[in-house]
A and B are shown apart, each in its own frame.
Chain A
């Protein structure tokens, strides 16, 4: 399988007052195309920071990030915007869907930014929201809201889906449903879609193709799971 993402000595420093704080410290790893990746680590380990850098939402202090042979860590603002629009689908812990748009409109929104988005209705049916098209976010449960966010990410038809603790705010049963959706997305398109999930739930590691462990801003390990379990095999 071909190499899709490469982190090389990536460091991210925050300045708090006079002090400098390394949220990421010389992180290096690679991710292949089509992998279902889980990034594990305790709170404050730098998981979100890493995902933000990968999603083109933040810039590195030093080091190099390569995606699809392009060095995105050297992108300017405009290139980053295009990268975010065309290559990445982002899913947040707190869903971040627009409260004043309906379910359908929240997904249809991507028409504004992507040239060839997937049909919003079809995608919403896929995630099981076919019945709720005209509801507003505050009329949905947390799990349903996260599905909207997933539908929005999928509708962009991106190469990479990044999810930052997508199940963090959900009960475990709903969480499983969400994971299934993400896994399904990873397996579609002939296994060419890459999904990267950040979590501190170690159980999720069992279903991943690759597990990257972070601690104190450093990559502890990046291991390939020879035999990932299917979601139903895992006891949640």
Chain B
């Protein structure tokens, strides 16, 4: 019978239960959604890597068939696949393609979307499925490719995805993949034309097939654990220049970072959501139980045991939160999880991507329900421990004489009536005040963090595009002779740079990093931690401050380093710390580089002159315009903006519910007092003022607490979400602080004013009689 009571009570007070329901739903929806999305990214990729046999290691160098044969026979090695990557990009229409030739497809196997599997005797080509799709290319079509002036036409025999190209961009400095204008092509090494060989080696040979060398080998080991042993042996071979684990691949690493970033959202935001959701359940259930006080007394008098009464009140929240949790999980998983995974897959290429759900999601749902149980039990307990007679008696505010010392008392006298009233009331119902305070603080944190995220990104864009990158086009140089370089410099200016992979000693370890030799004449600026340009000096190196932090380095220390693949160490003094949002590396001038007897061969040239991006230029592998780069980043930021709006929306929703709940709760408690005031002749307006004033104080206090906490939350997000490679400073503009504060404030006021309508409705007679 009590079950029927519960269902009817819920129906009759639907709005207040809808808030519980929604809060739990939103909390669990957010958590499940983000979690299912992260897990989906992780698992989909893992399955892909596993099934298509992603390489365990990459060897770089120059290898012939005999080398492959020899390495295949080494211990732990299961498969070896040779790969030739053409050093510059080929053109197809106005687009760019990376071209690879392979001798087998046992490692990093194609995921064939359409067409045939890899076949060594096939003369056609396998094309990037995303590129093909966006450019409307089908299996059987013939496409014309231009590689450094050599044009050839080939049939597309298959559309594929490749596990070591989950993420790929034209150039390292391009963050955002553009699948329509850049793709990849695989061919059998037997389809490598003589002309291509000539471009690769500079030699014209009729029996060129014999002289084909692979630029990298993809190694599949029996177990990842044996990589170290293998590495130690392989490094002894002369023709191995470098050796990387698959985790170091740009593709693997970028994807991983994207996931790490998401994991922090899961933690911080859904944690806050769920916390606030629980808080609103507590307030609502306290209110319900309080309102049902006489009914509880009656049930007790009838002979219901305390346990059964407790279970009855538990059933309200638990019943609703179970339904909410189930719906939250289902919607979060199917809608949000899959939506975000699909969204990511516009940029990342993982076949069959889908959201996944794991036991932690169920656990969180169970914990939330358990939280509801405990919250309800606590509020029921307070009523239940009293005996039946007391429960049934009219609830009078138990006026505790709060001990205020004399100085305070003097102060007290000078305060207005409403201030005195409110101080007493706050002191008397600390729990409720704290609950409301925490709720509004939580809402404030969400608002500050969300708006601050926007500021931080804008700040970053400003640093990147108005300060650091100071050019219109970046030409990535490749395979050029002296003459070509001179011609380029004459035409586009002598602003160049060179990136060089290095290793440096740190305690007993050798750390891989890179140096950036800057001879760009401020086309690419190096900045300090205040975003001011550093005028580079020629007597040492600069390292980014994040790198310095990580390895405990400071100005005045020296670094012992060598160029990757060589054995000669250089000792360089650190003469300054720089800051770079995206690369944590070492910077030096061309003059210092050359003073070490190293030859400066630039790999990039910066210019502000107009460059025709579509046209092939001798000695230039690819061209990037600053517009493309910023467009890419802006694109990525727009997904982030969507996230920010979602968070702000939920924050406002949660905040409103919390404040509404707190208001309703204080109303139930104060009904009697307000009625008394009314009888004494206070006008509704005056009572409303008292009520609003109290909420105002709480809101202001919450805002003051919330502002710094919002900043710390944001700092934590950027610190934890972005890995070692990034150096983003949480930045919140004054405007954002002000807007968040005003938003919270206005919301509190609106809800309070809305609630004061109830004061007019207080019926003095029944309120004072106390029996409803």
**Option from A58, A81, A92, A108 in Cβ contact (under 8 Å) with B305:** A81
A62: interface (CB < 8 Å): no
Query: Is A58 touching B389 in the complex (CB atoms < 8 A)?
Result: yes
B618: interface (CB < 8 Å): no
Query: Is B305 touching A112 in the complex (CB atoms < 8 A)?
Result: no
- Encode contact with A along B384-409: 1 for CB under 8 Å, 0 otherwise: 00011110100000000100000000
Complex alpha-carbon distance, A88 and B20, angstroms: 38
List of A residues within 8 angstroms of B298 by Cβ: 92, 96-98
A55: interface (CB < 8 Å): yes
Query: Is A57 touching B300 in the complex (CB atoms < 8 A)?
Result: yes
List of A residues within 8 angstroms of B295 by Cβ: 96, 98
B401 CB to nearest chain A CB (Å): 8
Complex alpha-carbon distance, A111 and B2, angstroms: 11
Q: For chain B, what secondary structure do more than half of its interface residues adopt (helix, strand, loop), or is it mixed? A: helix
A133: interface (CB < 8 Å): no
- Encode contact with B along A95-128: 1 for CB under 8 Å, 0 otherwise: 0111011000100111111100000000000000
Query: Is B9 touching A100 in the complex (CB atoms < 8 A)?
Result: yes
- Encode contact with B along A35-53: 1 for CB under 8 Å, 0 otherwise: 0000000000000110010
B5: interface (CB < 8 Å): yes
- Encode contact with A along B12-29: 1 for CB under 8 Å, 0 otherwise: 100000000000000000
**A57-B392, A96-B294 known; A111+B302 contact, CB < 8 A:** no
Query: Is B5 touching A101 in the complex (CB atoms < 8 A)?
Result: yes
Complex alpha-carbon distance, A90 and B388, angstroms: 12
List of A residues within 8 angstroms of B303 by Cβ: 81-86, 88, 113-114, 156
Closest to A111 in B: B1
* Total interface residues in chain A, CB < 8 Å: 36
Complex alpha-carbon distance, A56 and B388, angstroms: 8
**Option from B8, B9, B305, B401 in Cβ contact (under 8 Å) with A78:** B305
List of A residues within 8 angstroms of B389 by Cβ: 48-49, 52, 57-58
A59: interface (CB < 8 Å): yes
**A58-B387, A100-B9, A101-B4 known; A92+B302 contact, CB < 8 A:** no
Query: Is B302 touching A90 in the complex (CB atoms < 8 A)?
Result: yes
A84 CB to nearest chain B CB (Å): 4
Complex alpha-carbon distance, A41 and B465, angstroms: 90
Query: Is A77 touching B306 in the complex (CB atoms < 8 A)?
Result: yes
List of A residues within 8 angstroms of B305 by Cβ: 78, 81
List of B residues within 8 angstroms of A56 by Cβ: 388
A29: interface (CB < 8 Å): no
Q: Which parts of A8-41 form the interface with B (CB within 8 Å)?
A: 17
Closest to A53 in B: B389
B374: interface (CB < 8 Å): no
A13 CB to nearest chain B CB (Å): 14
Query: Is B5 touching A52 in the complex (CB atoms < 8 A)?
Result: no
Query: Is B388 touching A57 in the complex (CB atoms < 8 A)?
Result: yes
List of A residues within 8 angstroms of B304 by Cβ: 81, 85, 112-113
Query: Is B388 touching A58 in the complex (CB atoms < 8 A)?
Result: yes
Closest to B303 in A: A85
List of A residues within 8 angstroms of B401 by Cβ: 17
Complex alpha-carbon distance, A43 and B5, angstroms: 35
**Option from B2, B4, B8, B387 in Cβ contact (under 8 Å) with A57:** B387
Query: Is B8 touching A94 in the complex (CB atoms < 8 A)?
Result: no
Closest to B297 in A: A96
List of B residues within 8 angstroms of A98 by Cβ: 5, 295, 298
Complex alpha-carbon distance, A76 and B2, angstroms: 25
B17 CB to nearest chain A CB (Å): 13
Complex alpha-carbon distance, A156 and B301, angstroms: 12
Complex alpha-carbon distance, A17 and B398, angstroms: 9
B457 CB to nearest chain A CB (Å): 52
B16 CB to nearest chain A CB (Å): 14
Q: Which parts of A64-84 form the interface with B (CB within 8 Å)?
A: 77-78, 81-84
Query: Is B390 touching A58 in the complex (CB atoms < 8 A)?
Result: yes
Complex alpha-carbon distance, A97 and B302, angstroms: 11
List of B residues within 8 angstroms of A101 by Cβ: 1, 4-5, 8
**A98-B295, A101-B8 known; A110+B771 contact, CB < 8 A:** no
Query: Is B8 touching A84 in the complex (CB atoms < 8 A)?
Result: no
A44 CB to nearest chain B CB (Å): 13
A176 CB to nearest chain B CB (Å): 23
Q: Which parts of A168-221 form the interface with B (CB within 8 Å)?
A: none
List of B residues within 8 angstroms of A100 by Cβ: 5, 8-9, 12
7 A-B contacts, Cβ less than 8 Å apart? A52-B389, A84-B301, A85-B302, A88-B303, A109-B1, A111-B1, A152-B302
Chain A residues in the interface with B (C-beta under 8 A): 17, 48-49, 52, 55-59, 77-78, 81-86, 88, 90, 92, 94, 96-98, 100-101, 105, 108-114, 152, 156
Closest 8 CB pairs of A and B: A85-B303, A57-B388, A58-B389, A52-B389, A100-B8, A84-B303, A96-B298, A57-B389
List 9 extra interface pairs beyond A105-B5, A109-B2, CB under 8 A: A17-B401, A52-B389, A57-B388, A84-B302, A90-B302, A112-B1, A113-B304, A114-B303, A152-B302
